[in-house]
Structure 1
Amino acid sequence: MNLENNQSLTSAEITQLWVIYMQDSAVTCQLQYFSAITNDEDITQLVQHGLNLAQSHITKITEIFNQEQYPIPYGFNTDEDVNISAPRLYSDSFSLYYLQQGAIISMQAHSVSLGLAGREDVYHFFSECLMEQITFLKMINDVLQSKGLYTTYPTLPKPEKYDFVKNQSFLTGYFGERRPLAGTEINNLFGNYFRNALGSAALIGFSQVAKNTDVRKYLVRGKEIAQKHCEIFGSMLHEDDIPAPAKMEDLVTDSTTYTFSDKLMMFYSTELIALGVGFYGTSMAMSPRRDIGVTYNRLLNEILKYAEDGANILIKHGWMEEPPRALDRDELAKKKG
């Protein structure tokens, strides 16, 4: 990568690079563990590929930050945050679904980052990351399909011709007969169910190996929230005889041996919440039926409260690394005085 550039990094570029560094340092710990416990050769190769991508991103971001004399985040590391020798906590299928969702989320994040990048080297880095994830997702989906594990979204009937909405009942959902779900509503309900099912499985495993009592209770609470949201999304789909994705609790073993640090698991939990907020907000905006929008709003408030409680635990234990921020001018003035 050519780092010769006299233009200073913008707030957007610094922040996006910082976020990717933190996420990929956490991913590195998790994928090193997955690599150690995975039996299936095809999935092992995908795990190693994902690990290589994460490590290469850390190296390139470190180069950019060093050139800018910007402090490197502490992040996560193998010595402190993962026990690679721990027994199997998740099945190979879980690892594969985890890789798939990680690639989808990373693809979306890199696309946003690319739109915020003006400096040539940073733009090139985000562009490279995006193309890597596009290729990686195809590799993962191919393996999922070859093993009969690919989760297919529901199909829709083929209309005879185009049509237009005739009256306001298209928007209602509380009184009278509710119209069937629109395609966008189905996609979001199905996708949010799947992500909550995977998140619930992840939190079950985390709660089994957590050391701190506050962390364990928090993770159990998160599992219960995710499972409740699955029930809500599933019931909406079932009203129109649309199948929901399968639950994933059976992808977790009964291991209680220390596997991940409480700090790493809390980081992942808060990341899941942040992603949920984004997906729910988008789903609410894309759901014309009022009852669905109100439901998303209610669920959003629940996970926002959960997020705040998680932030308090991170701060309490000194685990929340401070992100890039603006100068505190009042504090500078006090120091001079």
Structure 2
Amino acid sequence: MDKKLSSSEIGNLWMTYQQKTMLARILEHFLETQMQEQLKEPIQSYYDEELKFINEIKSIFEKENIAIPMGYVSNDVISGTPRLYDEYFDLLFLRIMMKVTIGLNALHLTMTYREDITDLFMRMSNLSHHTYNSTTQFLLKEGILARPPMIPMPEKAEFVKGEGYMAGFNILSEKRPLNVIELSLIYQGIETNILGFQLLKGFEQVTEDKDVKKYFKEGKELAKKIIDTFSEILLKSDIQPPAVAWGNPTLSTKAPFSDKLMMYLTSLLSSFGLTSNALGTSFSLRSDLPTTMTMIAKDIFDYAKDGGKLMIKHGWMEEPPHTKL
């Protein structure tokens, strides 16, 4: 017989419940406003499975006599509002959110000990991987998603010669060429921030709260700054940055989501951005790159901190379970 939930398992389930109820509300807006059946079907499929997981987590809390979190409820999505983004944004957004959930599920799995909870996170992880792959392949087929840059195929294995490699220099040029690891991390940073820019542009457009509008505008400008910084690094290496023609906000000024939900999503994506920059700092060997990514990480951290203060000010930040004094 399984033992009681540990603190880490309660925390993992609590965080997952927040994230999944938020995503379910967003998908409800997409499903209500999406007119293309081929775009609606994968969203509906994921949404149906997401509701099952939400109910399963709720059932676990009930069995363990743990207070069920508020999370995000029907009042956090406003039915009858026009589409806030163009039609392909739905799948572009779902794909990025699968990147986030894949990372979160992997982290939660390493912090879980009870067999039934481990099984739950493994099933959620399988769904996230499947959805990420299916949305990626569909968007590529439709010509909506750009693939990362191609490079000449390596003809032989090579080893680093000299400490100049880590300093970012070689004998023939001012800066050595980007290696494929650095290139992939920079490309992913541009791709995710393009969607972040579009997302916050839409949020800024519909919120009526002045402080929240200002916050979304600052986030939009930060995403733009990151895109420009990473794009400049690629261009200096004669590599064309990715360009996305889809995913833009419509002209709607009616909010489909509560400010509370939009602020939480922004906070979640800021945390994801911090994690991505940490990876970039760890795996980039050209010295200018970790320095750049560290500066970006500081900007994201400061932005996320300001968002937390704003959520607390408005009473939107739900408190996780905690120990007793």
Question: 2:178 — aligned with what?
Answer: 181
Match of 1:230 among 227, 231, 242: 227
Contact persistence 1:200–1:249 (CA under 8 A): no
Q: CA deviation at 1:320?
A: 0.3
Structure 1 alignment gaps of length 5 or more: 330-337
Question: How far apart, CA to CA, are the structure 1 residues paired with 2:175 and 2:321?
Answer: 47
Q: Distance in 2 between matches of 1:75 and 1:183?
A: 40
* Shift in CA distance, 60/46, structure 1 to aligned 2, threshold 3 Å: same
How big is the shift at 1:131? 1.2
User: What is the match of residue 66 of structure 2?
Assistant: 70
Shift of residue 248, structure 1, vs aligned partner: 5.7
- Indicate which of 113, 126, 129 corresponds to 1:131: 126
Q: Which amino acid aligns with 1:46?
A: P
* Post-superposition offset of 1:88: 1.2
Aligned pair partner of 2:285 in 268, 285, 288:
288
Q: Which among 14, 30, 35 is matched to residue 31 of structure 2?
A: 35
Q: How far is the alpha carbon of 1:37 from its aligned partner?
A: 1.2
Quote the Cα distance in structure 2 between the aligned partners of 1:142 and 1:187: 18
The one of 21, 34, 56 equivalent to 2:17 is 21
What letter is aligned with 2:51?
Q
User: What residue identity is the alignment partner of 1:162?
Assistant: A
1:243 aligns with 2:275: no
Where does residue 325 of structure 1 map in the other structure? 322
Between the two proteins, the alignment pairs up a number of residues equal to 323
4+ runs deviating over 3 angstroms = 173-176, 247-250
Find the residue that maps to 1:260 and give its secondary structure.
Answer: coil
Show the counterpart of 2:96. Answer: 101
C-alpha contact 1:273 1:307 (8 A) present in aligned 2: yes
What is the Cα deviation at residue 298 of structure 1?
0.6
Match of 2:113 among 114, 118, 134: 118
Residue of structure 2 in register with 1:86 after alignment? 81
Question: Residue in 2 aligned with 1:12?
Answer: 8
Please report how far the alpha carbon of residue 174 of structure 1 lies from its aligned counterpart in structure 2 after TM superposition: 7.9
> SS of the residue aligned with 1:116?
coil
Letter in 2 for 1:157: P
- The 1-side partners of 2:187 and 2:45 are apart by 28
* Corresponding position of 2:305: 308
Q: Distance in 2 between matches of 1:215 and 1:249?
A: 25
Distance 1:174 1:89 in 2: 46
> Superposed, which structure 2 residues align to 1:168-207 within 5 Å?
168-173=163-168, 177-207=174-204
Check conservation: 1:90, 1:252, Cα contact below 8 A.
yes
Name the CA distance, whole Å, in 2 between partners of 1:247 and 1:310.
27
State the alpha-carbon separation in 1 of the partners of residues 130 and 34 from structure 2: 22
- Paired letter, 1:93: Y
Aligned mate of 1:266, from 259, 263, 266: 263
Given that 1:90 and 1:253 are in contact with CA atoms closer than 8 Å, whether structure 2 keeps it comes out as: yes
Deviations 1:98-126 (A, max 9, x none): 11111222122212222222111101101
**2: CA distance, partners of 1:97 / 1:243:** 21
Query: Cα 1:99–1:217, aligned 2, differ >3 Å: closer, same or farther?
Result: same
SS at match of 1:96: helix
Partner SS state of residue 217, structure 1: helix
1:255 maps onto 2:233 in alignment: no
Q: 1:319 is aligned with what amino acid?
A: W
CA distance in 2, matches of 1:23, 1:166: 46
Give the C-alpha shift of residue 293 in structure 1.
0.4
Provide, for residues 118-161 of structure 1, a one-character-per-residue CA deviation record: whole Å limited to 9, x for no partner.
11110110111111122222221232123122321112212221
Distance 1:248 1:24, change over 3 A: farther
Distance in 1 between the 2:247 and 2:134 partners? 25
Which residue is equivalent to 1:146? 141
> Whose RCO is larger (CA < 8 A, sep 6+)?
2
Supply the distance in 1 between the matched residues of 2:305 and 2:147 (Cα, whole angstroms).
34
Contact map agreement 2:277 2:293 (CA 8 A) in 1: yes
Q: Which runs of 5+ in 2 are unaligned?
A: none
Match of 1:217 in 2: 214
CA distance in 2, matches of 1:182, 1:174: 13
Mark the CA change 1:249 to 1:206 in structure 2 (over 3 Å): closer, same or farther.
Answer: farther
Q: Residue 100 of structure 1 contacts residue 140 of structure 1 at CA under 8 Å; is this kept in 2?
A: yes
The residue aligned with 1:160 is 155
